[in-house]
Copies of this chain bind each other. A is one copy, B any other.
């Protein structure tokens, strides 16, 4: 197997038939510097990869020496061994699983209830470019953030970074995700009849695995916040994610200052859009878009409501992975994304 363009960066995608994998294939086939060499899928091995001349191969047949980088859209625990293999073969890794997101094996054990399969890999740079860009240029391996953390952290970042939150006040996030966020494997919870006309919370309180990831990154930016109270819900749509965030501001920061703070911080960010005052972020703003869109509502002097939306398969997964890839290869960050 040889890349079809000697100028290209040769890449492979693991888990390419899942929903994030499908969007990776679609976006990467439009990337001018990329040559897609293989796409693995144990379930669909032998079938054509849509929009390409390739066929899915079983994971075991992937040849690391045929590529320069791999995107891993695999389940947690299954991803880390492939990370280790790829790095060992000198191949760069963009990992969309949860395996590299937490800094320590202990944290992983706490939230994922299994020992980390490759603790020696940790820690790895956390690939949320709008926040951690300075650590991402030219690196060899990156942990792509989860879908809920992406929308939530981008929604909170300007307040965290400027220490505008009241100390110890809780951060409340009422979140909603389309069904693709739960993966492509058929389960009772994603049966059409169960979801149609329904809306349901799951993993409430502080039990969802993304809580650990979000609190880790919040703490890195600002040590004084209160607990994260996080309730995800399943929305009867295929894609799209909303984080509805409620925060308490400290005495030094008035809710009316938020709009200009966000506009300033995100003014140069091509993939984050802050809506003008009075407009509300909706799923339609981001479906099949690579951006995160944010709207702000000052509620009282010191209470602020923030709505942050993404397409969970794009800025919440595939397009953020490509944004990281571009940084790792020193390409313009939004290549294939704008």
Contact = CB atoms under 8 A, between A and B. Distances in A.
Nearest to A200: B282
Interface residues of A, number: 57
Given A206-B300, A282-B199, A305 B193 contact: no
A283 B176 CA distance: 14
B174 A297 contact: no
A204 B229 CA distance: 20
A326 interface: no
Nearest to A172: B246
A197 B237 contact: yes
A223 to B, nearest CB: 18
B184 A187 contact: no
A247 to B, nearest CB: 10
A187 B190 CA distance: 10
A9 interface: no
A206 B248 CA distance: 15
A229 B198 contact: no
Nearest to A176: B199
Copies of this subunit: 4
A299 B174 CA distance: 13
Nearest to A298: B205
Contact of A180 (B193, B248, B297): B193
Contact of A192 (B191, B200, B280): B191
B280 A204 contact: yes
A97 interface: no
Interface in A56-78: none
A191 B197 contact: no
A188 interface: yes
Contacts of A201: 244, 280-282, 295, 307
A236 to B, nearest CB: 6
Nearest to A179: B192
Q: Which of A178, A188, A201, A281 has the most CB of B within 10 A?
A: A201
Contact of A246 (B199, B238, B246): B246
Interface of A: 19, 170, 172, 174, 176, 178-180, 184, 186-188, 190-202, 204-206, 227, 229, 231, 233, 235-240, 242, 244, 246, 248, 280-284, 287-288, 295, 297-300, 303, 305, 307
